[in-house]
Structure 1
Amino acid sequence: MSVTTPTFRNDKSFAAASLAGKNDAVPDPDAANRKNLLLLIQLRWLAVAGQVLTILVTEYGFDIPLPLPEMAGVVLFLVGLNIFSLLASRGRRPISNAQLFVALIFDMAALTIQLYLSGGASNPFVSLYLLQITLGAALLTPWSTWSLVAAASACFVFLTFQFQPIAIPHHGGSDLLALHIRGMFICFVLAAGLIVIFMTRINRNLRERDAYLADLRQHSAEEDHIVRMGLLASGAAHELGTPLSTISVILSDWRQMRGVTRNRELAGDVAEMQAQIERCKSIVSGILMSSGQARGEGTIRTSIRNFLDDLVQEWRVSRQPTNLEYSNDFEPDEQIVSDRALKQVIFNVFDNAQEASPDWVGVTAERQGEKLVIAVRDRGPGFDEGILAALGQPYMSSKGRPGGGLGLFLVVNVVRKLGGDFSALNIEQGACVTLSLPLAALTDGDDHEA
């Protein structure tokens, strides 16, 4: 059976991260500029090879004497510049617009020197300036592109008046014109081919950058949705606090009444109602603590094994599953600060498994390196392919009711803030949801209480 596994990653801690966190699965912000610098390096290698070939053909094929030492010096400069650019591209510092601009300026300067040494503006390869301007228009900001246009124009004007003439062995005007036209044709084919090749690659890099920015906007919208839900839940918790306290007081008074104390069945019902009211108050307190408004009251220092055992026991008592297989193999143990938000996240995963498979739910917890890995399995029908592909997005659910899908949406985002991984897959019989949480995010009590 084929298995499809969506995975969500982030490298930020839950407490320290803001709601504008980034996803670690997407590329670096300057990845497009770094790739474009590598394209310029490739273009420069082609320029070096083309210049060497052109110089050799002109010198030995057409018997046109050229200042070989000076032109060879320019070629060696381009080789050194490429080596330096390769080292810069492998560094960690981001590649800026200024670096790309300076790289094109150096290329333009090298071309200008070569043209100066080989006939100036009359050299048919003078049109290669347009190639550099085209690349600048695709890679640089508008002011940088116009600066490049101004520099190329200034170089062209300079080459019109200042250059070293070359001695053409052909004395006929038609021969000179034919040679010039051949050079123009070679330059045209070369420039057109390079423009197509490199513009295609540059456009691909820009599309990847646009996809990265679209992914950032998507995450920002999802996290804004979480903020709005959190504010709504916090407001509702505040509003529910007063009526729940009032009902609790009334039930306490009822338990003291003779008619209730003499009727065991009625007394049991009142006790049950009071217990459920206390549970509602605990849930409201948990909402407030998760939003940071009462966190100091609910933090409990414990160990991971005890935290998981108590969590599973509480879920077993409150949900009363038909068959829960639980295995806690986390060794060696670690001290943590119990977090109500994380507890609710794991509850949501358990609830979804029980809803899909009322007869059996399997839970295993183990340590893998520096991570706590919790796997929750069920024997239900599994995830639909469409739901599995978009798992963790709000309102993506097969339950067919308003608000469906918010549970796993919150699970994914809380796990992401913890710097962990969330994955879901269909197995041979049912489905398996896995939470992988870094121990550093769970054991740092100061961060959790911040």
Structure 2
Amino acid sequence: MNALNINKLELILTFSRYLGWGFRLILSYALSDWFGLTHQSSILMYLFIIELGYLLISHRKINQLKEFGSQHLYLLLIDNSFWLAWLYLTGGASNAFISFLLVPIAISSITMSPGKSWLFSGMNCIAYSVMLYFDPHMKHMAQMGMSSHYIGMWLNFILSVVVLNTGLVLFSRKLKQRDSQVSAMREAQLKQEQLVALGASSAQMAHQLATPLCTMRLWLDELKQSPSEQALEELGNNLSRCESSLQELRLATDAIRDGKKRQVAVNNLLYDAKKKAQLLLPQCLIDWQINENNSSVLNIDHGILPALLTLIDNAGKASKAAMLQAKLEISTQHNQKDECQILIRDFGSGIDESLRPYLGKQFVQSEKGLGVALMLTHASLERNLGSLSLSQHPTQGCIATITLPTISNTKDSNHE
């Protein structure tokens, strides 16, 4: 049983024990004449006092137990013994509430192993039989022709125990099998998600490394023909970009492997992206509209920053292809759900309307490639409960909108 089910059963057991004690107390001293209960007041009062002390002592013990086992069986046996003692002192087999013995039997069927459950049920059946056989009122009932009625009640109790115990044991076994299957499926799914995340992060970093590697190849060819300070400087800058990408890949791999996420303020994420974008697109004019009063915090992994840089890189290339001086606008806002949105606007030629529904969801053949970068970005955002949408700007270019839940929204979703 998982921790949630154990906590629920502990609450039910604790509440039902005190409820049963109070119910029997009321029956014994307020409703005994109505239900025909006979008892010896002095002995019964001592029994209630001892049981109350036992409940108070064992209450803490139940909450400390982490799983159902032999200790719970002992507590249930003691509880059941108090019920049997009360039944014996208030009429025995003639007590109208003797069928309440089915309640602890049901609890044992759900929480205990089949062997212990059948042992517990057998003990209650024997106790009922002994009370029926030694009941001093049975001779009087026989004279009134009521003995067959109590024997029928006893037989009905035995059959009810067999049916109830068998059904609940089988039902509990099925639930345990289902829980184990669900747990195995969850572990398998987690491994698959980790592999997909690692593959997406690796491919994303490889995509980022492609541009500086191609650039270094060109500058190396330039150096072979005529060495220059500019070529060496450009090689150094591109090497720094490669080192940064590899460092991000290592951090992302460690985080995905350990299943860890980090809490990052939106402004800090944008500042990190700004520093890396200066290396990624040094010739691009980027207008960073960062709201200093934005206190939103995100719970994300290390794959979000590479995804953001990929979108910035694509936007920069689109702007550069349409104008001499490439420029971008990056801003933030909140939607109606109080989710954080990061907007990246380029000044390119926009997106082909026929391709927009498929971008980020499948490979799309176009003059600029296959849309692999957008697919990887989309996968990284989905892993962090985020989304990506592309839309045309009314005047020129395209707007890529990244939507991510904030810490408060994530807690509300988990609570629901």
1:392-411 CA deviation, whole Å, 9 max, x = no partner? xxx99546556865435446
Whether contact under 8 Å (2:201, 2:249) holds in the other structure is: no
Q: 1:115 to 1:347 in 2, by over 3 A?
A: same
Q: Which runs of 5+ in 2 are unaligned?
A: 255-265, 296-300, 320-327, 334-338, 347-357, 365-371, 390-398, 408-416
Corresponding position of 1:300: none
User: TM-score, normalised to structure 1's length?
Assistant: 0.51
Q: Shift in Å at residue 106 of structure 1?
A: 2.8
1:115-137 CA deviation, whole Å, 9 max, x = no partner? 44356567675554444333322
Measure the CA separation in 1 of the matches of 2:359 and 2:188. Answer: 19
Corresponding position of 2:144: 173
Corresponding position of 1:105: 77
Q: 1:153 to 1:172 in 2, by over 3 A?
A: same
Q: Shift in Å at residue 286 of structure 1?
A: 3.0
Measure the CA separation in 2 of the matches of 1:188 and 1:379. Answer: 75
Corresponding position of 1:36: 9
Q: Shift in Å at residue 32 of structure 1?
A: 0.7
Q: 1:170 to 1:285 in 2, by over 3 A?
A: closer
Whether contact under 8 Å (1:118, 1:166) holds in the other structure is: no
Q: Shift in Å at residue 309 of structure 1?
A: 3.8
Corresponding position of 1:219: 190
Q: Does 1:151 align with 2:120?
A: yes
1:7-57 CA deviation, whole Å, 9 max, x = no partner? xxxxxxxxxxxxxxxxxxxxx941111101222234334533553465468
User: TM-score, normalised to structure 2's length?
Assistant: 0.54
For residues 23-422 of structure 1, what are the structure 2 equivalents within 5 Å? 29-48=2-21, 50-52=23-25, 54-55=27-28, 59-61=32-34, 63=36, 65-77=38-50, 79-80=52-53, 82-83=55-56, 87=60, 94-98=66-70, 100-118=72-90, 128-140=100-112, 142=113, 145-157=114-126, 160-161=129-130, 165-167=135-137, 172-178=143-149, 218-227=189-198, 251-252=219-220, 254-257=222-225, 278=239, 281-282=242-243, 285-286=246-247, 289-290=250-251, 291=253, 309=271, 311-315=273-277, 318-319=280-281, 324-327=287-290, 329=292, 342=302, 345-349=304-308, 351-352=310-311, 361-363=329-331, 376-377=342-343, 397-398=360-361, 405-407=375-377, 409-410=379-380
Q: Shift in Å at residue 348 of structure 1?
A: 1.2
1:253-301 CA deviation, whole Å, 9 max, x = no partner? 642436x98xxxxx99x88995786467436633564357xxxxxxxxx
Whether contact under 8 Å (2:304, 2:381) holds in the other structure is: yes
Corresponding position of 2:355: none
Q: 1:309 to 1:159 in 2, by over 3 A?
A: closer
Q: 1:34 to 1:284 in 2, by over 3 A?
A: closer
Measure the CA separation in 2 of the matches of 1:204 and 1:379. Answer: 52
Q: 1:305 to 1:227 in 2, by over 3 A?
A: closer
Whether contact under 8 Å (2:37, 2:95) holds in the other structure is: no
Q: Shift in Å at residue 349 of structure 1?
A: 3.0
Q: Does 1:433 align with 2:394?
A: no
Measure the CA separation in 1 of the matches of 2:2 and 2:123. Answer: 34
Whichever residue aligns with residue 36 of structure 1, its letter is: L
Identity of aligned residues (%): 13
Q: 1:353 to 1:375 in 2, by over 3 A?
A: farther
Measure the CA separation in 2 of the matches of 1:159 and 1:207. Answer: 36
Whichever residue aligns with residue 135 of structure 2, its letter is: P
Q: Which runs of 5+ in 1 are unaligned?
A: 1-27, 262-266, 293-303, 333-340, 366-372, 381-394, 416-421, 438-450
Measure the CA separation in 1 of the matches of 2:59 and 2:176. Answer: 18
- Secondary structure in 2 aligned to 1:329? coil
Q: Shift in Å at residue 102 of structure 1?
A: 3.7
Q: 1:188 to 1:118 in 2, by over 3 A?
A: farther
Measure the CA separation in 2 of the matches of 1:222 and 1:111. Answer: 52
Q: Shift in Å at residue 315 of structure 1?
A: 1.5
Q: 1:348 to 1:436 in 2, by over 3 A?
A: same
Measure the CA separation in 2 of the matches of 1:154 and 1:174. Answer: 29
Measure the CA separation in 1 of the matches of 2:35 and 2:270. Answer: 83
Q: Shift in Å at residue 180 of structure 1?
A: 7.0
Q: 1:313 to 1:50 in 2, by over 3 A?
A: closer
Whether contact under 8 Å (2:361, 2:378) holds in the other structure is: no
Measure the CA separation in 2 of the matches of 1:424 and 1:274. Answer: 35
Corresponding position of 1:337: none
Whichever residue aligns with residue 247 of structure 2, its letter is: G
Q: 1:175 to 1:425 in 2, by over 3 A?
A: farther
1:152-210 CA deviation, whole Å, 9 max, x = no partner? 42454356457863447767332454577689989999x999x99xx99xx99999998
How many aligned residue pairs are there?
347
- Secondary structure in 1 aligned to 2:73? helix
Whether contact under 8 Å (2:386, 2:403) holds in the other structure is: yes
- Secondary structure in 1 aligned to 2:39? coil
Whichever residue aligns with residue 219 of structure 1, its letter is: L
Q: 1:352 to 1:68 in 2, by over 3 A?
A: farther
Measure the CA separation in 2 of the matches of 1:217 and 1:47. Answer: 44
- Secondary structure in 2 aligned to 1:31? helix
CA RMSD of aligned residues (A): 6.3
Q: Shift in Å at residue 231 of structure 1?
A: 7.8
Q: Per chain length, whose mean CA-contact separation is higher, i.e. which structure has more relative contact order (CA < 8 Å, sep 6+)?
A: 1
